[in-house]
Structure 1
């Protein structure tokens, strides 16, 4: 079996570079940063709420003990009430297991969940 390879000067492309009669269309919509900047602004508020929670855990051993104790007893309602006492401006989702606690703060703009801040703390 013999294979013939053409030298480069004899290469014939499979297509020719003919001009396209149709103008190229952008497949993406125009950039609108309104929602993005609103989300960033709301996220700043989430960070303030997160700071309240973290500050309380860091500076109050009693509070940390109450949360851990309720979590060890699988008392989800008590854990949620303790954290929501911090006068947070956003809804909170809380999950915990023997390794730690996950606290999710959720913000909305224009009736959509624009951003979430998840804090995962090991205990």
Structure 2
């Protein structure tokens, strides 16, 4: 049962007899063409491979933060003092293959791991880690 607002008439489609629909279709036969290029997975797969490398680097940094309290303390201290070169030195010491672009604010650290596939930016991995509760 459909309920309508009492002050408004329900919207109804105009009546078309069965024979007129057969002779004059409501919608013409319009064929949509696929304007997309053919699927090529080579770049897609290579980008996924590079992203896995980024994830390994991010995993190294996050594991070090999680398991080493002195590292976490130093990283947070340098970041809060806006000492970017020291933050990057600490991150490099974790053994990362890709050094992230780092920024920080009073709430946490923002790391962007990115790679190129030839001359094209193929993948980015953004990691945001908070150190202050709101």
Answer whether TM exceeds 0.5 for this pair: yes
TM-score (ref. length: structure 1): 0.79
Number of the residue aligned with 1:34: 42
Shift of residue 25, structure 1, vs aligned partner: 4.5
Please tell me whether the aligned partners of residues 88 and 99 of structure 2 are also in contact (alpha carbons under 8 angstroms): no
1:82 aligned onto 2:90 = yes
Aligned-partner SS, 1:8: coil
Shift of residue 80, structure 1, vs aligned partner: 1.7
2:125 corresponds to which of 105, 114, 117: 117
Q: Which moved more, 1:71-80 or 1:51-60?
A: 71-80
Unmatched runs of 5 consecutive residues or more in structure 1: 1-5
Unmatched runs of 5 consecutive residues or more in structure 2: 1-13
TM-score (ref. length: structure 2): 0.73
Distance, in Å, in 2 between the alignment partners of 1:47 and 1:7 is 60
